[in-house]
């Protein structure tokens, strides 16, 4: 019987300062994982270093991604050209204390001047530190964290129970592999879907329950969230259920059909998810509409004390009703709908 691939979406090392030896540590960890049958999609470094240009100069290795973590909006705006040129660097701005027109103005600046950087930027509220997933990653203490592409572990499973067992088996293997590593922070057991087939969460939901549409008004997503939060014995980071609209290509199809509007997105986020993720936005969208949505997201996050983020995506060209052209292998092109 063919076993499901054990795919690590992110192997991330957290370091307070940008140190060259961090890459060496990542290489050793990567070698250890590869020898035990894991596949690694990306290696990453998250640091408190806010100088975007310095960060990429310190780490010239093209196969390593970076995050400056939480940055002040004023700082990002003042250093926007360095951020635009930093092709491997992500960051986020915390809006837990509220949003205003300046936050929306910055979003539309990105849409106009550097739409490719929207993929590497988010607004976050009540964020959890040490998540290996970008752009939410934020430094709190030094060490490494692991985030899986656990949707692939559902391949061939007949129900949620089979999938849960596969996830628990892989988590146990990682805990055993790194039990003597004092800098192992833990596993972010978030479900982070991608593309189509076994990598798509929507694909499995439709296999198990007939349709995504019908599954929404059931407790299936609560079951998944309860499991990934309770069964992981060394949790770190977000440990939630992601609905990346344009990265899960099957979810992108649902979006185009009108079955994944922001109301549904936020509804799912409130009982199991992590917010608005890679969600299409048109260049002619109303800034007032965006401001109201961000205020709602912050209000929900504060009321229910849960991490929520917003990562909007534009190609800098498509208006409402037009097809996008992202030129990004991780994003599915869609006809953009009004928010």
Per-residue pLDDT of 68-92, as tens digits, reads 999 999 999 999 999 999 999 999 9
Distance CA 216, CA 214 (A): 5
Distance CA 226, CA 189 (A): 11
Environment class of 247 (CB within 10 Å of its CB; exposed 0-12, middle 13-18, buried 19+) = buried
Q: How large is the C-alpha radius of gyration of the chain?
A: 19
Distance CA 139, CA 46 (A): 6
- Dihedral of CA atoms 249, 251, 253, 255 in degrees, nearest 10, equals -130
For the chain, give the percent of residues with pLDDT over 90. 93
∠ at Cα 259 (253, 265), nearest 5°?
100
Q: Cis check for the bond before 135: say yes or no (omega within 30 of 0).
A: yes
At 287 the three-state DSSP class reads: helix
Among 263, 267, 225, 265, residue whose Cα is nearest residue 245: 265
Distance CA 44, CA 135 (A): 11
Instruction: Please answer whether residues 13 and 46 qualify as being in contact, where contact means their C-beta atoms are separated by less than 8 angstroms.
Output: yes
The H-assigned helical ranges of 38-159 are 52-58, 73-78, 80-85, 101-113
Whether pLDDT at 279 is above 60: yes
User: What are the pLDDT digits (tens) for 138-158?
Assistant: 999 999 999 999 999 999 999
Whether pLDDT at 114 is above 80: yes
Tokens of 183: 């800098």
Pairing of strands 38-40, 64-70: unpaired
User: What are the pLDDT digits (tens) for 88-101?
Assistant: 999 999 999 999 99
At 274 the three-state DSSP class reads: coil
Enclosing H/E stretch for 129: none
pLDDT confidence band for 223 (50 / 70 / 90): very high
Average pLDDT over residues 57-78: 93
Average pLDDT over residues 120-143: 97
At 1 the pLDDT is 42
Distance CA 98, CA 234 (A): 32
User: What are the pLDDT digits (tens) for 244-270?
Assistant: 999 999 999 999 999 999 999 999 999
Average pLDDT over residues 46-59: 89
Whether pLDDT at 129 is above 90: yes
Topology of 6-313 in CATH? Anaerobic Ribonucleotide-triphosphate Reductase Large Chain (3.20.70)
- Residue with token string 């960890």: 29
Environment class of 55 (CB within 10 Å of its CB; exposed 0-12, middle 13-18, buried 19+) = buried
For the chain, give the percent of residues with pLDDT over 70. 99
Total Cβ atoms within 10 A of residue 51: 14
At 17 the pLDDT is 87
Contacts of 293 (CB under 8 A, 6+ apart): 262, 276, 310, 339
Provide the mean pLDDT of the chain: 96
Distance CA 238, CA 78 (A): 29
Whether pLDDT at 2 is above 80: no
């Amino acid at each position: 019987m063919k076993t499901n691939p054990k795919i690590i979406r992110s192997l991330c090392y957290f370091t307070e300062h940008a140190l060259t030896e961090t890459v060496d540590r990542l290489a050793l960890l990567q070698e250890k994982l590869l020898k035990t049958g894991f596949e690694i999609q990306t290696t990453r470094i998250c640091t408190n270093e806010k100088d975007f240009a310095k960060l990429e100069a310190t780490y010239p290795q093209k196969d390593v991604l970076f995050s400056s973590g939480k940055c002040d909006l004023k700082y990002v705006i003042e250093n926007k050209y360095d951020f635009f040129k930093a092709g491997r660097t992500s960051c986020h701005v915390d809006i837990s204390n509220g949003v205003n027109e300046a936050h929306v103005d910055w979003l539309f600046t990105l849409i106009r001047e550097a739409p490719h950087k929207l993929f590497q930027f988010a607004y976050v509220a009540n964020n959890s530190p040490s998540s290996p997933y970008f752009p939410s990653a934020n430094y709190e203490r030094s060490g490494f964290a692991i985030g899986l592409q656990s949707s692939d572990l559902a391949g061939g499973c007949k129900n949620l129970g089979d999938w849960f067992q596969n996830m628990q088996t892989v988590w146990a293997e990682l805990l055993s592999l790194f039990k003597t590593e004092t800098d192992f922070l833990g596993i972010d057991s978030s479900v982070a879907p991608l593309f189509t087939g076994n990598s798509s969460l929507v694909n499995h939901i439709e296999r198990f329950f007939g349709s995504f549409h019908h599954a929404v008004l059931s407790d299936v997503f609560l079951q998944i969230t309860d499991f990934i939060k309770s069964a992981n014995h060394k949790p770190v980071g977000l440990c939630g259920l992601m609905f990346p609209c344009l990265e899960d290509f099957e979810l992108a199809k649902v979006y185009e059909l009108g079955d994944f509007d922001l109301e549904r997105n936020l509804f799912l986020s409130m009982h199991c998810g992590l917010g608005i993720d890679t969600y299409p936005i048109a260049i002619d969208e109303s800034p007032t509409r965006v401001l109201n949505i961000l205020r709602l997201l912050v209000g929900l996050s504060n009321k229910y004390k849960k991490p929520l983020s917003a990562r909007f995506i534009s190609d800098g060209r498509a208006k409402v009703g037009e097809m996008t052209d992202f030129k990004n292998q991780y994003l599915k092109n869609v006809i953009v709908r009004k928010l």
